[in-house]
């Protein structure tokens, strides 16, 4: 059987280093993990929506380095970093 992986199915990442709202994915999305590379006293808010006005599904405390596994399927995905930190969000 041929590989039928579509671009939308590809695993992607968003590297955040400053206060911002990112990804803004409308439609089905899969949040795989959040990696805090360089900790700071800020937080990353995860929304199940294409905007930061959707339902909050998690708030990651970025004060410690680490990997936070999610593996959840959502109806949309937006993340908001509320300060300066080094964070990578891996999604599909």
Q: How far, in Å, CA of 16 to CA of 37, rounded? A: 10
Could you state, in order of their start, the residue ranges of all structural domains in the chain?
A: 7-91
Classify strands 12-16 and 20-38 as parallel, antiparallel or unpaired: unpaired
Residue 16: pLDDT over 70? yes
**Tell me: domain 7-91, CATH 3.40.50.300, correct?**
no
How does pLDDT run across 26-64, given as a tens digit for each residue? Answer: 999 999 999 999 999 999 999 999 999 989 999 999 999
Mean pLDDT of the chain: 92
């Amino acid at each position: 059987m041929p590989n039928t992986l579509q671009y939308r199915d590809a695993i992607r990442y968003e590297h955040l280093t400053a206060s911002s709202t990112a990804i803004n994915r409308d439609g089905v999305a899969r949040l795989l993990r959040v990696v805090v590379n360089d900790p700071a006293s800020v937080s990353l808010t995860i929304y199940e929506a294409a905007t930061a006005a959707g339902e909050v599904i998690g708030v990651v405390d970025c004060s410690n380095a680490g990997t936070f596994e999610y593996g959840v399927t959502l109806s949309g995905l937006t993340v908001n970093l509320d300060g300066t930190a080094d964070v990578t969000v891996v999604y599909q």
